[in-house]
Amino acid sequence: MKITGYLSEFSLGEIFRFLAQGQKTGCLTIKPVDTRDEIASEYHTFFHHGNIVASTISLDHQELQRLIAKRGWLRIPTIQKIAQLCSPRATLGLCLKTQGALDGEQLKLLFKQQVLTPIPQLFSIEEGWFEFDANHPLPYEEMTGLTASPMEIALAGLRLLRDWTPLLDKLPLPSSTVIRLIHGELPYHLNQGEYQVWEHIDGTLSIEQIATHLEQLVLDVQKICFRFMVIGMVEEVAGITAVEPLIANHEPEMDTLPVSEISHSFLHGLLTFLKGKKNAT
């Protein structure tokens, strides 16, 4: 399975939610349209059952080795020799740990450098093409054996975001209400601003009303609610706008009609009629 698109259509946060909730395994490639020097030409993030297991900017399967060598912990030829002692389906990080070459703390530092620090910065990419390939094999040579929740990384990335322009059309509408999908203990640590908004989400107040209660900008509350949507804490429900109806004179007056149960004979007759239409063409 491959899905493709542009970040302007389906934002990175939404992609992360999709991959996490679908418990997907595969490779997400992002090719930024932006050509600033500090931005690589492509980024690969690897998922295993919905969790992030590695991140690279090339597919040469040697980035983790270079990171280890750069820190002066092991030389590349040594890493490769040790790796031969492990199963080809063992992650390089765990292989080096079980062989006593690296310890758990070193793996955590590597994972932070490889995944936890760079991925949130991807949320600042203004436009890019993405592809998720579920058939891409996992790169065991690039994996430390540690995993990260895409939701937590998305939350971190969206908190870091300064320019929200590319996401403006994806934010929940000011007239919408948001309903909680999580009850009881919160799965993520919220900052003060987020917690205040969370406290006001009761399924009846619109985003506009929450902003008024908190004396905050509507846009700021929209951003927070978008973050909540991405991490699966709330769902947006469109609200009724106060715009006057533009109903033409010739339309049926639906508002005056009662809702009644449909009879079995009606359903049977309609089904027979529709099946006739299917067969007639």
Partner 1 sequence: MEIMRIVVTGPVGAGKSSFIRTISEIEAVDTDRKATDETAALKTKTTVAMDFGRLQFGQNVALHLYGTPGQERFDFMWDILIRKAHAFVLLVSSHRPQDFRSARRILAFMRHRAKIPMLIGLSHADNPAAWPMEEIMLALGYLSPHNRPPTVPVNALETTSVANALAALIEAYARDQMAELNRLNKDALI
Positions in the binding site for partner 1 (CB under 8 A): 1, 3-5, 8-10, 14, 18, 21-22, 170, 172-173, 176, 179, 235-243, 245-248, 250-252, 254-255, 257-259, 261-264, 266-267, 269-271, 273-275, 277-278, 280-281
Provide, rounded to whole angstroms, the least separation between the CB of residue 31 and partner 1.
16
Rank residues 37 and 242 by Cβ distance to partner 1 and give the closer one: 242
Rank residues 137 and 203 by Cβ distance to partner 1 and give the closer one: 203
Cβ within 8 Å of residue 277, ≥6 positions away: none
Classify residue 170 as exposed, middle or buried by CB count within 10 Å of its CB (0-12, 13-18, 19+): middle
Asked if 161 and 227 touch (Cβ cutoff 8 Å), the reply is no
Q: Looking at the DSSP assignment, which residues form a beta bridge with residue 43?
A: 30
Tokens of 15: 């992609």
Provide, rounded to whole angstroms, the least separation between the CB of residue 191 and partner 1.
25
Provide, rounded to whole angstroms, the least separation between the CB of residue 22 and partner 1.
5
The Cα–Cα gap between 126 and 8 comes to 8
Rank residues 75 and 268 by Cβ distance to partner 1 and give the closer one: 268
For residue 281, which amino acid is it?
T
Rank residues 88 and 243 by Cβ distance to partner 1 and give the closer one: 243
Provide, rounded to whole angstroms, the least separation between the CB of residue 40 and partner 1.
24
Provide, rounded to whole angstroms, the least separation between the CB of residue 248 and partner 1.
6
Rank residues 35 and 272 by Cβ distance to partner 1 and give the closer one: 272
Rank residues 146 and 207 by Cβ distance to partner 1 and give the closer one: 207
Distances (CA, A) of 207 to 162, 182, 226, 240, 260: 21, 18, 11, 13, 35
Provide, rounded to whole angstroms, the least separation between the CB of residue 271 and partner 1.
5
